[in-house]
Amino acid sequence: MALGVLTLSVLLVAIDATVLGLAIPFLSEDLEPTGTQLLWIGDVYSFVIAGLLVTAGTLGDRIGRKKLLLFGSAAFGALSVAAAYAPSAEALIAARVAMGVAGASLMPSTLALVRNIFPDARERSFAIGVWGAMSMAGAAFGPVVGGFLLEHFWWGSVFLINLPVMAVLIAVGIKMLPESRNPDPGPWDMLSAALSLVGMIATVYAVKEAATHGLLRPDVWVAAAIGVSALVWFGRRQLSLPVPLLDMRLFRNRAFSGSVLADLLTVLGMSGLIFFLSQFLQLVQGRSPLQAGLAELPATVGAIVSGLLAGAAARRLTPRVVVTSGLTAIGLALGALTVLAEDTPYLYLGGVLLLVGVGAGFSFTVTADLILGSAPKENAGAASAVSETAYELGAALGIALLGSVVTGIYRGHLTVPEGVSGSAADGARESLAGAAEAADTVSGQVAADLTHSANDAFLEGLRIAAGAGAVVLLAAAVAAWFMLRGAQTAGSDVEH
């Protein structure tokens, strides 16, 4: 029952992450964000979570993981309402920032509670598989339900589906979840918390702005200097404190650091592409939001099945083999998207998505098990936070880097035909959604030419981003093969 409650919070975050991609064309029409604002709407949530996860994870170790989870869930639900009724792009970005603050308390708390509720290694391995499978189920549930809502209501309704899940989680969680915390947490170091937040957000901001606008802008170098300095200071401070906010000695464990690196590179390679895939399904291939959500189901089905089988596979084949195989499968699948075209049949696309899901399910479940198994029980929150930080940081960087590749190539390849001018032309140059809206303002051959040029430009960017993602995933597979040598999940019967 406790595991069932914990998976609800995972469902909450997964739903929120996946419905946004489907809503992009609708909120673009209503709020008219610029291309840069569109990327901020997509990834500012991940930026904030990445900056706060370490602080939130160690806070849960101190004040109680159940308490932090329930408070965070209530705040997350309330802020979903603010996002749903945002009157402008700036207001939506602000709401997503606040949701990131609340969301940072959810994921590390759930995984740390799994670590403490299931002391038996095999049970814990299966529980982590269920946890990961429910995350993927949320990824499926979000687009399908979100697609239904978008066909009947306004774009803000996709955020309101968080509310019933949050209500059930709080009502049942109060009774069913056991409280757990570090019995001897030591003093809370505010300077370390501030350094991790500033360092993470400033570093990610620098990478994002460099990818979008180039390296010549002074704010890129200032942010990079601040971010790197803060992270170095944070690391040195943790090594000098008798009770650090984050025990840096965890990274001496090769299984721990290899799993964190694999998660970071995997999400980086996938997320930017997935962010734009919903736009391809709707705006290029003309599917409805519900159809687009259903079209993405093979990835989720593959991830759920492989996530549940991952623990047994790791014991039988070794974690090194399972993680490397999973990453290789995702890399090959992304490589297959480099030939994506407007008329690509769904059978091909569905097969690619299924392969992505299977690879992700195996890889993420085993690395989560390795990360939790490498850390002492009392530091479960901090270890979970590092795992989730890698995930969110990868998501933010993936959308920033690969998203900027798609946007930059789109703008460079788009040809706006004569007959489209003024704000319509400006909107068309900003994004594919803007081009679709601009095409509605004209007619005949002009509209057809604009749509054809926009689709071609978008697909060119998508193909190049897919190739870059494939390279990143195959590099992650090579890194995992070397770094996870000798690694084994707790309770494994196999000697490595």
Alpha helix (H) ranges present in 153-217? 157-160, 162-176, 190-213
Using the Cα atoms of residue 53, residue 59, residue 62 and residue 63 in order, give the sign of their dihedral: negative
How far apart CA 57 and CA 50 sit, in angstroms, is 11
How far apart CA 82 and CA 159 sit, in angstroms, is 9
- pLDDT of 222 reads 93
How far apart CA 353 and CA 344 sit, in angstroms, is 13
How far apart CA 57 and CA 389 sit, in angstroms, is 10
- pLDDT of 496 reads 38
Tokens of 131: 């946890």
DSSP 387-431: HHHHHHHHHHHHHHHHHHHHHHHHHHH--PPTT--HHHHHHHHH-
- Do 77 and 131 touch, CB atoms closer than 8 A? no
How far apart CA 193 and CA 331 sit, in angstroms, is 35
Residue type for 200, please?
Answer: M
- pLDDT of 246 reads 75
- pLDDT of 409 reads 85
- Do 179 and 66 touch, CB atoms closer than 8 A? yes
Tokens of 182: 């570090």
- pLDDT of 413 reads 81
DSSP 352-378: HHHHHHHHHHHHHHHHHHHHHHHS-GG
DSSP 36-55: HHHHHHHHHHHHHHHHHHHH
Q: What is the CATH number of domain 2-178+190-483?
A: 1.20.1250.20
The CA–CA distances, whole Å, from 92 to 84, 98, 102, 290 equal 8, 10, 15, 23
Collect all residues with Cβ–Cβ distance below 8 Å to 164 and sequence separation of at least 6.
none
Task: For residue 214, count CB atoms less than 10 angstroms from its CB and return exposed for 0-12, middle for 13-18, buried for 19 or more.
Answer: exposed
- pLDDT of 332 reads 93
Give me the tens of pLDDT residue by residue for the chain, a chain 496 residues long: 788 878 877 777 777 766 676 677 787 778 878 777 777 787 777 778 777 877 877 777 778 888 888 888 888 888 989 988 988 888 888 998 898 888 888 777 777 777 778 877 778 777 877 777 777 666 666 667 777 777 788 888 888 877 887 888 888 888 877 777 766 666 778 888 889 888 888 887 787 777 666 677 888 899 989 999 999 998 889 888 887 877 777 788 888 888 888 888 887 777 766 667 777 887 888 887 778 778 878 887 888 888 888 888 888 888 889 999 999 999 999 999 899 888 889 999 999 989 988 898 888 888 888 887 777 766 666 677 777 777 767 766 777 777 778 878 888 888 878 777 777 777 777 777 778 778 877 777 888 888 888 888 888 888 888 888 899 899 989 988 988 887 766 555 444 3
- pLDDT of 308 reads 81
Angle at alpha carbon of residue 4, lines to 365 and 148, rounded to 5°: 85
How far apart CA 380 and CA 443 sit, in angstroms, is 60
Rounded CA Rg of the chain: 22
How far apart CA 9 and CA 13 sit, in angstroms, is 7
Residue type for 264, please?
Answer: L
Residue type for 237, please?
Answer: R
Collect all residues with Cβ–Cβ distance below 8 Å to 443 and sequence separation of at least 6.
none
Domain ranges of the chain: 2-178+190-483
- pLDDT of 274 reads 67
Global confidence as pTM? 0.75
- Do 72 and 31 touch, CB atoms closer than 8 A? no
- pLDDT of 347 reads 92
Task: For residue 187, count CB atoms less than 10 angstroms from its CB and return exposed for 0-12, middle for 13-18, buried for 19 or more.
Answer: exposed
- pLDDT of 232 reads 92
Collect all residues with Cβ–Cβ distance below 8 Å to 380 and sequence separation of at least 6.
61, 111, 112, 115, 116, 180, 372
- pLDDT of 9 reads 75
- pLDDT of 495 reads 40
Q: Which long-range contacts (CB under 8 A, 24 or more apart) does 426-435 make?
A: 427/32, 428/454, 430/34, 430/35, 430/38, 431/28, 431/35, 431/38, 431/407, 432/279, 432/283, 432/284, 432/458, 433/24, 433/25, 433/28, 433/29, 433/38, 433/279, 433/283, 434/28, 434/35
Task: For residue 121, count CB atoms less than 10 angstroms from its CB and return exposed for 0-12, middle for 13-18, buried for 19 or more.
Answer: middle
Nearest C-alpha neighbor of 430 from the set 451, 411, 409: 411
